[in-house]
A and B are shown apart, each in its own frame.
Chain A
Amino acid sequence: MGIEGAVSHGTAHAAGGHVPSAADEERWAAIVERFAPYVHAVLVRAYGLDRQRAEEAFGEVFARLWLHVDGVISRNRDLGMLVRSLARGVAAEVAAPGDPPPRDDLLRELDDALAVRDALASLPALEREVLVRQAVREEEDAGIARALGLSVEAVAVEGSRARRHLRETLDSVSQERMRAPEPG
């Protein structure tokens, strides 16, 4: 079970929700951290919302996600699909009639970026560290080797292994997405 599925649900109250524990708060923060860049990019870059509407929509996406967490989320991938759907749905709701249509090409790129990030999180720690330093921070292998106490050859091996594992994970995600309907 992924971290989202592990959000527990304590005492039910009159409003029909639950009383979150401190642990729930930490898990929720991890969920927000995971999806915030994606939701922000969908609203601002793909839908072109101005800052005020984007901020309102961003809050709305996470409010709806919070309300949905109870009972709906059982696996990480379900949550990813839900967030994709919520971000698009809320963006469409707040978009004004004269706004340009969302950029479908960018939405696909953002979906890919989210899938890559999720896949990255599933890598062994050393592979992930090397890949992040190589690909995201654009550090040289020699510097990575010094920082991690590895040989330059070992850094290259770990980086290649990380990319191979990432591609394998993304293959399966890509195939699943082809089978699943596009979120509305």
Chain B
Amino acid sequence: MIAPMGTRPDDDMDETLRGLDPAPEPWVARAEELPRIQRAAELLAQRRAIGDETAMADALRDVGLEPDEARMRALARLAGHG
């Protein structure tokens, strides 16, 4: 039985504070890229080239991201083609 949080003694609260380890840095970095991929999706929309893999790769490069499979997939999704 887990005590309601507010009634926990200090030791339990301190243990809880230590309870979340950092996520792997590469995973975090990928998640943080989403706004830039969204900008790439906007570039694609302006160029009306959604679905054109070369254009998609160029859009990613234009926002400073090197194209790879995961980024292309994310871009297609944010551009409405995923």
Shortest CB–CB separation between residue B37 and chain A, in angstroms? 9
Contacts of A39 in B (CB 8 A): 23
Chain B's interface size range is 35 or more
B79 contacts A by Cβ under 8 Å: yes
Main secondary structure of the interface of A (DSSP, over half): helix
**B20 lies within 8 A of A113 (CB):** yes
Q: A25-B35, A59-B70 are in contact. Are A37 and B5 (CB under 8 A)?
A: no
**B5 lies within 8 A of A174 (CB):** yes
1/0 per residue, CB under 8 A from B, across A58-76: the answer is 1100110011000000000
**A174 lies within 8 A of B13 (CB):** no
Q: A63-B74, A167-B13 are in contact. Are A109 and B19 (CB under 8 A)?
A: yes
User: Contact check: which of A16, A20, A41 meets B21 at CB < 8 Å?
Assistant: A41
> Complex Cα distance A32/B14, Å?
23
B61 contacts A by Cβ under 8 Å: no
Shortest CB–CB separation between residue A165 and chain B, in angstroms? 11
A147 contacts B by Cβ under 8 Å: no
Main secondary structure of the interface of B (DSSP, over half): helix
Q: Which of A62, A171, A172 has the most CB of B within 10 A?
A: A62
Q: Which residue of chain B lies nearest to A111 when distances are taken between CB atoms in the complex?
A: B5
**B5 lies within 8 A of A17 (CB):** no
**B38 lies within 8 A of A66 (CB):** yes
**B45 lies within 8 A of A112 (CB):** no
**B20 lies within 8 A of A166 (CB):** no
User: Contact check: which of A20, A62, A168 meets B38 at CB < 8 Å?
Assistant: A20
Contacts of B31 in A (CB 8 A): 32, 36, 58-59, 62
CB contact list, A71-94 vs B, under 8 A: none
Q: Which residue of chain B lies nearest to A132 when distances are taken between CB atoms in the complex?
A: B17
Contacts of A110 in B (CB 8 A): 19-20
Shortest CB–CB separation between residue B40 and chain A, in angstroms? 11
User: Contact check: which of A19, A59, A109, A166 meets B13 at CB < 8 Å?
Assistant: A166
A152 contacts B by Cβ under 8 Å: no
**A28 lies within 8 A of B34 (CB):** yes
Binding site for B on A (CB under 8 A): 11, 13-20, 24-25, 28-29, 32-33, 36-41, 55, 58-59, 62-63, 66-67, 105, 108-110, 112-117, 120, 131-132, 134-136, 163, 166-168, 170-174
| Pairs A–B under 8 Å by Cβ, sample size 19 | A13-B42, A15-B78, A15-B79, A25-B32, A28-B34, A29-B32, A32-B28, A32-B31, A36-B31, A41-B20, A63-B34, A67-B78, A109-B19, A113-B17, A113-B20, A114-B20, A116-B13, A174-B5, A174-B6
